[in-house]
Amino acid sequence: MTSHLKKVELHCHLEGAAPPTLTVAQARKYNIDISHYLAGGTYVWHDFASFLECYDKVSEAYKTEEDYALLTETYLDELAAIGTIYSELIVSPDHGKRIGLGADAYIEGVCEGVRRAKAKSDIEARLIVTGERHFGPESVIGAAEYAAKAKNPLITGFNLAGEERMGRVADYARAFDIARDAGLGLTIHAGEVCGAFSVADALDVVRPSRIGHGVRAIEDLDLVKRLADLGTVLEVCPGSNIALNVFPDFASHPLRKLKASGVRVTISSDDPPFFHTSLKREYELAADAFGFSDAAINEMTRTGIEAAFVDEPTRQALFARM
Ligand SMILES: Nc1ncnc2[nH]cnc12
Ligand SMILES: [Zn+2]
């Protein structure tokens, strides 16, 4: 039981949080045939590549500023209802461009959703602009330039997601330079689909304060020590890792080992309905599948606040709410 615990989430893709019921309604509204990707109330995919394809198709069912406001508000309301005080949403203005809505209208819709949710529950939220590797380095640079120029106080970070097997981190270094120069927090997907080398690449090239997943660092114990020494925070998403078969089961998932080795870890849901999970379930798994005490879970939540891409007064206000 973790319902009494305050919660923080650093790693959730906005479109990846789309409830299947809402996506069905959206697809009906726009007369989109989504039956290959959503059947029986469940998103349909069978491996990482088909998951990404399904994710992109589902995203296409959200088309207007109001659609993004509703999607954001719906997810943040769900988080607030389980005691979540802070959420970082991974968003893709580039996707807004691709669907013809435009990056500004996409972001404005998301910001409206953040404001609506905050007015109801006081949940704090920030946006991490992401580039997606499978759309190529130029599109990732475009995403970084957008984030850098936006001067939107809710946009506080930059991420790189998508097909991890596409190119090496160095191909995307320029995008991270742009984001770093703009003062954005840096995080990057690594060590999820690819092995420990991708985490080492991320540390060498990007020097991020956080890594999305990073769990396959466990394949190289020197690298685990490096993560612990640097204080790099891992945004660990156990349910996602099991759904994508990164590890066969929770017993072989390295969350406990990483934490015991001194690596700073947090827990998140990634793309919850795609992976049959939720932040509530991830906290329950931390207690039941991993055997963490309330104190250990609170420690991970505090790590999340320490690593959050927020200004210091906001960070202190979040600590005060713990
Ligand atoms: N788990 C994941 N890894 C990489 N890119 C993603 N985009 C959405 N979810 C993702
Ligand atoms: Zn992710």
Tokens 């759904």 found at: 243
pLDDT of residue 216: 98
Domain 7-19+47-321 falls in which CATH fold? TIM Barrel (3.20.20)
CB 43 within 8 A of CB 20: yes
Active site includes 15? no
Name residues whose C-beta falls within 8 Å of residue 213's C-beta, 6 or more positions apart in sequence.
Answer: 189, 190, 191, 192, 234, 235, 236, 237, 240, 241, 246
Q: Whose CA is nearest to atom 7 of ligand 1?
A: 162
Low-confidence residues of the chain: pLDDT under 50: none
Atom of ligand 1 nearest to the CA of 130: 7
Residue 149 class from Cβ within 10 Å (0-12 exposed, 13-18 middle, 19+ buried)?
A: exposed
Task: Please report which ligand is nearest the Cα atom of 193.
Answer: 1
pLDDT of residue 312: 98
Task: Please report which ligand is nearest the Cα atom of 165.
Answer: 1
CA of 13 to the centre of ligand 2 (A): 6
CB 260 within 8 A of CB 301: no
Please state the domain extents for the chain. Answer: 7-19+47-321
CA of 243 to the centre of ligand 1 (A): 12
pTM (2 decimals)? 0.98
Residue 162 class from Cβ within 10 Å (0-12 exposed, 13-18 middle, 19+ buried)?
A: buried
Residues 303 and 261: their CA atoms lie apart, in Å, by 15
104 token code pair: 């500004």
Which residues' Cβ are closer than 6 Å to ligand 1?
13, 16, 55, 161-162, 189, 192, 240, 270-271
- Phi (first) and psi of residue 207, to 5 degrees: 50, 55
pLDDT of residue 282: 98
Count each helix (H run) and each strand (E run) in the chain, helices first.
Answer: 14, 10
